[in-house]
Amino acid sequence: MSQAEVVPDPKSSIVQINGEKNAVASLKAIVEGLTWMSESDYPFEVVLLPDRAEPLTTDELLQRTGHDAETVVEEISIENFFAPAIQPQDWHEEADKQRLQHFQTLLQWIEQHLSSIKVYRVGSIAIDVYILGKTESGNWISLSTKVIET
């Protein structure tokens, strides 16, 4: 990351979620320019899953995301997923510290504005990650990225 990153404040992004458009817009603003770093860097994508009273089942997740029914799915905690991105390291330079703050802001927003949070890792080597959470009005939002692990 060559330029200093602007880190949105989750409290000023949209404190009261009055509808999914605001939640989606707020989350998109937070992940703008943010990539998940693994063996390759991938951006985050935000998608609203309207008219869902219940979380997606594993089968529905695989079907909606175009994966085969036999694809490996692992559920992990949100803390476990974000741990590598929010842990300060002695070797971090200023850009790394700003990136860490950006991920802390994202995690804080998710925990403040979404409930029933689920994190699914789908596949192996090129792993699709889906973070699902329920909004105050009862619909679901998906935040996804990709992780490469060889």
Q: 80-135: per-residue pLDDT in tens? A: 999 999 888 888 899 888 988 999 999 999 999 999 999 999 999 999 999 999 98
Would you state the structure tokens that stand for residue 74, as one six-digit string?
């692992």
Residue 3 covered by a domain: no
Number of domains in the chain: 1
- Kindly state the DSSP code that residue 53 receives in the 8-state scheme: S
Neighbour tally for 131: CB within 10 Å: 23
Residue 74 covered by a domain: yes
Give the residue numbers spanning the domain of 47. 10-148
Residue 57 covered by a domain: yes
pLDDT of residue 49: 82
Residue 26 covered by a domain: yes
pLDDT of residue 20: 62
> Which CATH number belongs to the domain containing residue 64 in this structure?
3.40.1460.10
Note the pTM of the prediction, 2 decimals: 0.82
pLDDT of residue 120: 97
Residue 1 covered by a domain: no
